[in-house]
Structure 1
Amino acid sequence: MKQPQLTTLFLAMTLASTLTLSACTTANPNPPADQLAQQQDRIADNVIHRDYGVYRDTQERIKVLNDGGRRVADYQLSKAQCWLDVSFHEYSRNDRGGFPQAALGESQRILTALENKQDPGWETPLVNGAEKLRPDLWARYDALKHHSGFRCAAQQTACGEVELVHAGNEIHDAGWRHAKPYIQIAEDLAGRAEQSAESCNPPPVPVPTTEKITLSADALFHFDKSGSGDLLPKGRQELDEMAQKISSGYVSVTGLTVTGYTDRLGSVAYNQRLSLARANTVKTYLQAHGVTAPITTEGRGKQDQVEACTGVKPSAALIACLQPNRRVEIVVQGMK
Structure 2
Amino acid sequence: MNRLTLLASLTAIAIVVAGCSAASGPTYNAYSVDASDGVRTYRVECGGIFETAATCTKVAERICGNKSVQPIEKIDRLRDASDATADPRTMDFKCESAARVQGAVKTAPAPNTRTIESFALQSDALFAFDKSSLDSMLPAGKADLDKAIEQIKTHEGVADIAVVGHTDRIGSPAVNQRLSEARADTVRAYLIAHGLDGSLVHAQGMGSSQPISHCPAGYSRAVIACLQPDRRVSIEVKG
TM-score when normalising by structure 2: 0.51
After TM superposition, list the pairs within 5 Å mapping 1:5-16 onto structure 2: none
Specify every segment of 5 or more residues in structure 1 that has no aligned partner in the other structure, as ranges. Answer: 1-206
Whole-Å separation in 2 of the counterparts to 1:302 and 1:208 = 27
* Equivalences, count: 126
Q: Which residue of 2 aligns with 1:300?
A: 206
* 1:277-292 map, 5 Å: 277-292=182-197
Task: State the partner residue of 1:274.
Answer: 179
* Structure 1 counterpart SS, 2:125: helix
The share of aligned pairs that are identical, in percent, is 46
Structure 1 position 299, deviation (Å) = 0.5
Is 1:234 matched up with 2:140? yes
Q: Provide the aligned C-alpha RMSD in A.
A: 1.5
Match for residue 320 of structure 1 among 225, 229, 234: 225
Contact 2:126–2:142 (8 Å) recurs in 1: yes
Task: Output the CA distance in 1 between the equivalents of 2:113 and 2:207.
Answer: 30
Q: Which runs of no fewer than 5 residues in structure 2 stay unpaired?
A: 1-111
Secondary structure (helix, strand or coil) at the match of 2:149 reads helix
SS at match of 2:158: strand
Take 1:332 and 1:216, find their aligned partners in 2: how far apart are those partners?
A: 18
Equivalent positions of 1:237-248 (< 5 A) are 237-248=143-154
**Which is strand-richer, 1 or 2?**
2
d(CA) in 2 for partners of 1:265, 1:331: 25
- How far did 1:223 drift? 0.9
Q: Is contact 2:127–2:136 with CA below 8 Å preserved after alignment? A: yes
1:255 aligned partner: 160
Superposition map of 1:60-139 within 5 A: none
Deviation at 1:294, TM superposition (A): 1.2
Q: 1:332 aligned to 2:233? A: no
**Deviation of residue 214 (structure 1)?**
0.8
Q: Residue in 1 aligned with 2:130?
A: 224
- TM-superposed deviation, 1:316: 1.2
Higher RCO (CA 8 Å, separation ≥ 6 residues): 2
- The equivalent of 1:214 in structure 2 is 120
**Matched letter for residue 234 of structure 1:** A
Provide the rounded CA distance (Å) in 1 between the counterparts of 2:113 and 2:205.
Answer: 26
How far apart, in 2, do the equivalents of 1:223 and 1:315 lie? 16
Distance 1:258 1:297 in 2: 5
Cα shift at 1:246: 1.0
Deviation at 1:288, TM superposition (A): 0.4
TM-score of the aligned structures, taking structure 1 as reference length: 0.36
What amino acid maps onto 1:287 in structure 2? I
Q: Which residue matches 2:215?
A: 309
Between the aligned partners of 1:251 and 1:325, the Cα distance in structure 2 is 31
Post-superposition CA distance 1:166-212 (Å, at most 9, x none): xxxxxxxxxxxxxxxxxxxxxxxxxxxxxxxxxxxxxxxxx964132
Bigger-Rg structure (1/2): 1
CA distance in 2, matches of 1:267, 1:255: 31
